[in-house]
Amino acid sequence: MSRSMRPYLEYQADRVEAVLAAHRAPGRITGGTVGPRLIRFFLNPAPHIRLAAIKRLSEDLALAMRVPTLRIDRDTEGVVLEFANPNPRPVDFLPLLERVMPLPPATALLGLGDNNAPIMARLSSPEVAHILIAGTTGSGKSALLRTIAASLVLGHPPQAMRLLCLDPKGRTFAALAAMPHLSRPPVSAPEESAEVLRSLVRTMEARDRCNEHAPPIVLLIDELADLVMTGGQPVTEELTRLLQRGREAGIHVIAATQRPSAAILSGLMRANFPLRLVGRVVSSQDAQMAAGRGGTHAHLLEGRGDFLAISGGDATLRFQVAYIDAEELRRSSAKLTL
């Protein structure tokens, strides 16, 4: 926690205790966490006070604390009061990576949840396998791809992690060009991208024949819609095969696009990304399209790395993407290749 937050937190804790006391529902704030987007206070109510009585006071508490909304819930810490952090802060990638090292095999670091827990994705698990990243321009898709790529190369030795990077704009992965995890530099030309896909399908078939699945090969694609539109039917078919059968061969696809619309990405393709990471979108219709289901409220996200992780079940997990800029990544990978 930054030192300058302390007076604010103490003020808010005092407000909470004062409101509760005034309404004859006394309790004490015993601690809390300051997350990148949300602050959580742990409340220890007096023994005779019911949770429902505290929940009924949420509007009065929000008013006294001058926060737009206050969510009151119960978890293992007791009663939790959750409200917006007035100083939302970026999450630095390198210190967070250090905190979670050594990474488990085939695992990527994504960011930090609002309970301050690091959020990671284990590619070999069937609930992850392939990841579709969606969100409007500026939501932080390319930054998220770079974070994933950075964690894969900085967190795993080259013999345990192979990367293929496709990016028509040629910027997202440029800092990784010299890394030994890449057998070829990031590809931006459409014909060459199509060639990479074809040869990856051949690798998958060869691995299938001898029941091989190591080392993992991760295909990272920025601007998936561009790739599919310029590559046409063959690219769609090859991608779909990789998505349907890649996992058993240790091949994983992580792709970003602004809108995973049916007009561009086939239903079969979209259905084969078990995990979706959704950043800010502009409308609730776009939220539905990006998440593959309703009710996620992705249009209310803040942008710049504010993301939801959405997989099979109903639960969504909100997190702030850890950030590393291209220059910082180039420097850290140069250190590694020395």
Ligand X SMILES: Nc1ncnc2c1ncn2[C@@H]1O[C@H](COP(=O)(O)OP(=O)(O)OP(=O)(O)O)[C@@H](O)[C@H]1O
Query: Between residue 112 and residue 141, which ones bind Mg ion under the rule CB under 5 A?
Result: 141
Query: Between residue 95 and residue 154, which ones bind ligand X under the rule CB under 6 A?
Result: 135, 137-143
Whether 276 contacts 290, CB under 8 Å:
yes
Site string for ligand X, 201-240 (x = CB under 6 A): ----------------------------------------
Residue closer to ligand X by CB (options 113, 135) is 135
The closest of 100, 333, 107 to 216, measured between CA atoms, is: 107
Least separation in angstroms between CB 88 and ligand X: 10
Give the integer Cα–Cα distance in Å for 135 and 123. Answer: 21
Least separation in angstroms between CB 45 and Mg ion: 46
From the list Mg ion, ligand X, none, partner contacted by residue 139 (C-beta under 5 to 8 A by kind)? ligand X
Query: Between residue 266 and residue 305, which ones bind ligand X under the rule CB under 6 A?
Result: 304-305
Least separation in angstroms between CB 136 and ligand X: 7
For residue 166 the two structure tokens come to 């496709």
Give the integer Cα–Cα distance in Å for 319 and 148. Answer: 14
Whether 239 contacts 193, CB under 8 Å:
no
From the list Mg ion, ligand X, none, partner contacted by residue 305 (C-beta under 5 to 8 A by kind)? ligand X
Residue closer to Mg ion by CB (options 118, 303) is 303
Total interface residues for Mg ion by CB under 5 A: 2
Give the integer Cα–Cα distance in Å for 183 and 21. Answer: 65
| One-letter identity of residue 268 | L
Residue closer to Mg ion by CB (options 12, 136) is 136
Give the integer Cα–Cα distance in Å for 313 and 292. Answer: 12
Using rule CB under 5 A, residue 142 touches Mg ion: yes
By beta carbon distance, the residue nearest ligand X is: 305
Q: What's the residue count for the chain?
A: 338
Residue closer to ligand X by CB (options 82, 226) is 226
| Member of 272, 276, 323, 329 binding ligand X (CB under 6 A) | 323
Going 153 to 175 to 91 to 112, the CA torsion angle's sign is negative
| Member of 45, 88, 90, 185 binding ligand X (CB under 6 A) | 90
Extended beta strands in 13-75, E state? 27-34, 38-45, 71-75
Going 53 to 57 to 61 to 62, the CA torsion angle's sign is positive
Beta carbons within 8 Å of 112's beta carbon, 6+ residues apart: 35, 36, 91, 96, 118, 119, 319, 320, 322
Least separation in angstroms between CB 154 and Mg ion: 21
Least separation in angstroms between CB 256 and Mg ion: 7
Least separation in angstroms between CB 91 and ligand X: 7
Give the integer Cα–Cα distance in Å for 239 and 317. Answer: 27
Strands 118-122 and 91-92: unpaired
| Member of 61, 65, 221, 321 binding ligand X (CB under 6 A) | 321
From the list ligand X, Mg ion, none, partner contacted by residue 137 (C-beta under 5 to 8 A by kind)? ligand X
Which residues bind to Mg ion, rule: CB under 5 A?
A: 141-142
